[in-house]
A and B are shown apart, each in its own frame.
Chain A
Amino acid sequence: MRKALCITLVLIAFPVAMQWLGYLFYVSFASRVMIYAIAATSLNLVLGYGGMLSFGHAAFVGAGAYVASILVAEGVASAWIGWPAAVAASALLAWVIGAISLRTRGVYFIMITLAVAQMMFYLVNSMKAYGGDEGLTLPRRAELGLGLDLGDEVVFYYVVLFVLLAALYALHRVVHSRFGRVMIAIRENGARVEALGLPVYRYQLLCFVIAGAAGGLAGALLASHGKYVNPNVLHWLQSGTLMIMVILGGVGHLWGGAIGAAVLLGLEHVIADYPLPWLAQVAPNYQQHASLGVGIVLLVIVLFAPQGIAGLISRRKNA
């Protein structure tokens, strides 16, 4: 609890410090990291607590991003309409995809979630009215009212921070609720949960829908943040990125998604924007292959810290 409070205080103070130092870019960057943190946290609910290897989470993020963007493009600028609409659309999509894919197990489940997400990718690609493969540029971010201008990077940052903290708190509550206990038990031994009289399919589907809805909210924030959305937000590589974030940060750890998003995006940023002369001598163009560096880090984490970075931290605390 104290740890959470410390992190929250640091995150609240962050934009103030950056403004003072003149690094306003990092406020916007941090917003992006936190949006990915929300998306990865929602995937962690499915992957880490539900034990469902969904390889199509980008479909929900993307659906949210597109629904929110299309509404803004059509003149419905209010976030109070656009964001709930994005959440509802992603929840509905998750319900449909979940209802189909949860009838299968293992590799089949992975393949079906992947395939349906890719179908969404091609569908959006062909939506010429909304930019097709070129994507959709928005005239402005969504409007929140209440005297808050989301166009301001600092205001936007605090809104995203609020959503992230709310999402983490909600995850914390859900994990420790009756529903959460059942989900973890299904991850451990689904057949036995069924034998105790609980309808496993229904629990998994609901978990899938909740995570999809949260992913949709992240998507709506992401579209507003960049004032731009393109089909790549639904691409399976995006699903893979979210999965890598969860694995890096810690599968089934409350902070896993957030830590993973921060580490992965931070690493990409450092590799791309801070050239190392000695490394460039050995390997010219290495900055264009940032994913190689990320891959090596991921390999090390999977081999030496299968519980992810969050697992590493909590293990040291317990030792």
Chain B
Amino acid sequence: MLELRGVTKRFGGVVATDNVALEVAQGEVHALIGPNGAGKTTLIGQISGSLQTDVGTVRFLEKDVTALRQHERVRLGLARSYQITSIFRRFTVLDNLALAVQARSGSSFSFWRPVAAEAALFDEARAISGEIGLAGRLGVTAGNLAHGEQRALEVGLALATRPRFVLLDEPMAGMGPEESQRMIALIGRIRASVTVLLVEHDMDAVFRLADRITVLVSGRVIASGRPAEIRADKDVRRAYLGDELAA
């Protein structure tokens, strides 16, 4: 479904991603792991289109999307969520989700009709709020939500675009154990309809959810395979997993 070949990104003299090859098949949860600064978020940016790719190609649904802009890729069904929460803080939860629904349903170049009259947008936004566990918080201004709730809304915004493929950049960042469990359950539910590329430091979550795992170190893929293979990989243990598994 998603195929990267030779994807590279340089910032000045720093090589953030280096000749990355990656394939994600339809229906799988594919985890992308690696130490801080490995280039995971840069790679997410290159896949989503918010960052230009210097060298290499990004193919999505058998189509070369390397030159497409981010909003065009979203239209094809390629959505992302952010590691650093990026929601509309002064909008209510309902308005956040309704905007995301609006973005993919019909044209937004409509200047006269009040949005408030479009019941369908808000019905769907309510439905999504249920999926992400915020059904009881619809009227709350997003900036006033608890951290875990904001993280849920962060993922909810991506899901509200009804993507076929979603890039989740550390959805569990800063979450308590209970909130993490809820997020794991949410990803477990959406995997039936959405292919997921998951960047995550929570190894418990990664090994519970992932069908396949790719390990990125210093911008390069050092291993890719099934969870059991990754767990057993000597290079991976040395570069990244060792300390975590030992703990």
Contact = CB atoms under 8 A, between A and B. Distances in A.
The answer on A and B forming one complex is yes
Interface in B120-139: none
Contacts of B99: 181-182, 185, 193, 196
A192 B113 CA distance: 24
Contact of B89 (A176, A180, A188, A196): A188
A13 interface: no
Contact of A197 (B74, B91, B113, B118): B74
Contacts of A196: 71, 74, 79, 99-100, 103-104, 157, 160-161
Contacts of B115: 176-178, 180-181
Interface stretch (A93-101, A108-116, A127-135, A198-206): A198-206
A105 interface: no
A174 interface: yes
B50 interface: yes
A269 interface: no
Interface in A151-187: 173-174, 176-182, 185
Contacts of B102: 178, 181-182
Contacts of A177: 110-115
Contacts of A199: 69, 71
Interface residues of B, number: 37
Contacts of A194: 50, 70-71
A105 to B, nearest CB: 14
A195 interface: yes
Per DSSP, are chain A's interface residues mostly helix, strand or loop, or mixed? Answer: helix
B114 A198 contact: no
A270 interface: no
Contacts of B86: 189, 191-192, 195
Contacts, number: 95
Contacts of B104: 196-197
A173 B111 contact: yes
A179 B99 CA distance: 11
A179 B111 contact: yes
B109 interface: yes
B110 A197 contact: no
A84 to B, nearest CB: 19
A197 B114 contact: no
A185 B88 contact: yes
B142 to A, nearest CB: 10
Contacts of B80: 195
Nearest to A197: B74
Most buried by A among B90, B114, B118: B114
A206 B111 CA distance: 11
B48 interface: yes
Contacts of A174: 111-112
Interface in B10-31: none
B226 interface: no
Contact of B75 (A179, A180, A181, A197): A197
A76 to B, nearest CB: 30
A212 to B, nearest CB: 16
Most buried by B among A181, A182, A203: A181
Contact of B161 (A180, A191, A197, A200): A197
B118 to A, nearest CB: 8
Contacts of B69: 199
Contacts of B74: 195-197
Contacts of A180: 111, 115
Contacts of A173: 111-112, 114
Nearest to A199: B71
A203 B50 CA distance: 18
Nearest to A176: B114
A170 to B, nearest CB: 8
Nearest to A200: B71
B108 A198 contact: yes
Given A189-B86, A195-B79, A196-B74, 11 more contacts: A181-B99, A182-B99, A182-B103, A188-B89, A189-B87, A191-B50, A193-B99, A196-B157, A199-B71, A200-B71, A203-B108
5 contacts: A178-B110, A178-B115, A180-B115, A192-B157, A194-B71
Interface of B: 48, 50, 69-71, 74-75, 79-80, 82, 86-91, 95, 99-100, 102-104, 107-116, 118, 157-158, 160-161
